[in-house]
Structure 1
Amino acid sequence: MKISLLEFGEGDAMSNSMVRLSNVLDYAVKADQLGFNRLWLAEHHLYNRKSAWGCPLPIIPVIAGITQKLRVGTGGILLKLHNPFDVAAQVKLWHNIYGGRIDLGLANGGAPKIELLQHEGTSSVTFDTKFATIVSYLKEEEKLREKKIVLPPYHGSVPEVWALSTTGRGFHRALQYGTNYVRSIFHEVAELAPEKELFEDFKKEFEQRHGRKVKTMLSISGSCLRSESRLRELRREAAKDEKNHLIGSVAYFEEKFPELLYTYGADEIIWRDMNRNVHEKHETLELLSGFVTKEEPVREVSLH
């Protein structure tokens, strides 16, 4: 099966921002070597002096440059805070530089303090408007050319765009704009009811409307370790957390992953490791890599 990774750039109490960032780079290299499909970086603007990043965009080309096969992306960009043209221009260029390995996940979240700074005295543009705009910049190159605008490289390939949601009915943007789709079941506000019949109808309608199958992922959080005593500790920690964490051994996830993919109708798992200890995170990578389908490297995209 395909397994991807979602990273928040967290760390233990002893690590500062640069240590946490360095750990993520090491994590990316190991994930690449073990055959994981994607590594996405989340955007969070927390009042935390030890945050590894707020906006992950500057780190995307760094990780793409130190890996060979791993797809690298955002999970997701808080588009309310960004200029769609700037984001589209950056990710398209990176996508072509790094052999077609860049993903663009878009999330309808925000950071109220930053939004106030950006929009003080003006009316802000809605997320849906920005979502539609960024998709059009990437997919409708000739419309831009009519306005004497080009997103280099002209006639280059464009990254996969993914709509992120936490509900069983949150696929409307993917259906309307022809993007791929991720559903999270670990966020505090996430709905856990599968809504599989509705989701299967969405996939059929998507194929009829856009002439291709939609790619879908299920986002989960948890821990997979060898030590049962450590897993018990993590279960106690998880009981105090509002997120939905899945915690267990390799044997547990050997059954759980296929069950989740079937129950929710998704193609791929994207895993967020709840551990903040770098050694435990690497152990989890090694254990989960046994489920990963190994694929050939992505080849460089020709622009001619």
Structure 2
Amino acid sequence: MKFSLFYFDGDGSSTQTDKYRLLMESAQFADRHGFTALWTPERHFHTFGGLYPNPAITSAALAMITQRVRLRAGSVVVPLHDPIRIAEEWAMVDNLSHGRAEIAFASGWTVADFVLSRERHTNRKAVMWRDIDTIQRLWRGESIERQDSAGKTFTIQTLPKPIQPELPIWITCQSNETFIEAGKLGANVLASLLGSTLDSLAPKIRLYREARQRQGHDPKTGTVAMMTHTFLGADLATVKAQIKQPFCEYLKNHYDLLENLAKGMGLNVSLKNFSEDDIDSLLEFGVEGFMNGRSLIGTPESCQEFVEQAREAGVDEIACLIDFVQNSDSVMAGLPYLKQLMQRCQERMVSHV
């Protein structure tokens, strides 16, 4: 099992001057201690994730302070951008990092984000598959034709030339269909447990492997990474006490997660109709549910079983989402325990070989 760090929260509305302190310090920790990658997202128009509107810029900054760890977009929302610009920007990241750039592609979620796009929200998946192909061709040095506003045709070849001859790509997957399409493409997969469980994720991973095989790709290759909320410490009771309030605040800022929790309780309702007391009751129940079976929240010892369950479900890498806790010192203090978990899991795998 590989371990990487994932960033998704990050309140961009504050006026503090060290907004990216946790990102920078934890990135250097990951680079020193054998973590596989750093994932930074693309988020727009919301305090939740507002630190991260452009993963290419974030990864370019991380390239300057790291040496080994892979730099991944998690994700680039393809329909919001011209594929030429995606190819150009990430070729720069590849050069700045000496060949460590990777991209997870997504079709987009929020309708409001599409004020940045000339494409319709309803067409977003078709646009994503079309433009991924264009980006891959440009990355390889191929030319494409484009017309300017007057209808004149130009032949375009992007620069700078990237270090890696092929761009390592991922697809952000939730539905069965997307898992299958990712397998056909031969791409890696970025998944999560935000709206599901390991039991529901495992069949999708099998569909992915089967699709790889049918398309002529080695079904054993291709990495499935799973974004997982992560906070570890020395004592389970202390960790739960530390995490409860930050996690409640985190979920309050992400109504999609809260509604998923409600559905998990058998409540097919809109949270717009909930009172504050109702939401607080839901949070009390939901946080405990997230800690048990959907996250790495606990100690290295208590979390090892979840890692083994993830491996059995077909997960190859756990992308540890660490910034849902808004206290940088607490998060950094927990990273050595995450390193311990990673080492325990690796030692266990070696002993079973």
Offset at residue 33 of structure 1 (A)? 0.9
Tell me, yes or no, if the aligned pair for 1:5 and 1:40 is still in contact at 8 Å: yes
Tell me, yes or no, if the aligned pair for 1:250 and 1:288 is still in contact at 8 Å: yes
Paired letter, 1:203: R
Offset at residue 174 of structure 1 (A)? 0.9
The separation in 2 between residues aligned to 1:133 and 1:160, in whole angstroms, is: 15
The separation in 1 between residues aligned to 2:162 and 2:319, in whole angstroms, is: 30
Runs of 4+ in 1 over 6 A off after TM superposition: none
Aligned counterpart, 1:61 = 60
Are the structure 2 counterparts of residues 261 and 68 from structure 1 closer, same or farther at C-alpha, using a change threshold of 3 Å?
same
Q: Which has the higher helix share?
A: 2
Are the structure 2 counterparts of residues 156 and 64 from structure 1 closer, same or farther at C-alpha, using a change threshold of 3 Å?
closer
Residue ranges of structure 2 left out of the alignment (5+ in a row): 146-153, 252-257, 262-289, 347-353
Aligned counterpart, 1:202 = 208
Are the structure 2 counterparts of residues 261 and 167 from structure 1 closer, same or farther at C-alpha, using a change threshold of 3 Å?
farther
Q: Which has the higher Rg, Structure 1 or Structure 2?
A: 2
Residue ranges of structure 1 left out of the alignment (5+ in a row): 296-304
What is the TM-score with the length of structure 1 in the denominator? 0.81
Instruction: Kindly indicate whether residue 54 of structure 2 is the aligned counterpart of residue 5 of structure 1.
Output: no
- TM alignment of 1:1-304, pairs within 5 A: 1-10=1-10, 16=15, 18-48=17-47, 51-116=50-115, 118-119=117-118, 126-139=124-137, 141=140, 143-144=142-143, 148-154=155-161, 156-157=163-164, 158-167=166-175, 170-185=178-193, 187=194, 189-190=195-196, 192-197=198-203, 199-212=205-218, 213-234=221-242, 236-237=244-245, 238=247, 241=251, 242=258, 244-245=290-291, 246=295, 247-262=297-312, 264-273=313-322, 274-292=324-342
The separation in 1 between residues aligned to 2:48 and 2:134, in whole angstroms, is: 37
The separation in 1 between residues aligned to 2:305 and 2:48, in whole angstroms, is: 39
Is the partner of 1:194 in helix, strand or coil? helix
Report how many aligned residue pairs link the two structures.
Answer: 289
Worse overlay, 211-220 or 150-159? 150-159
Residues 8-62 of structure 1: CA distance to partner in whole angstroms, max 9, x if unpaired?
252699x646422132111111111111110101122243399423222211111
What is the TM-score with the length of structure 2 in the denominator? 0.70
Are the structure 2 counterparts of residues 93 and 165 from structure 1 closer, same or farther at C-alpha, using a change threshold of 3 Å?
same
The separation in 2 between residues aligned to 1:142 and 1:4, in whole angstroms, is: 30
The separation in 1 between residues aligned to 2:67 and 2:196, in whole angstroms, is: 33
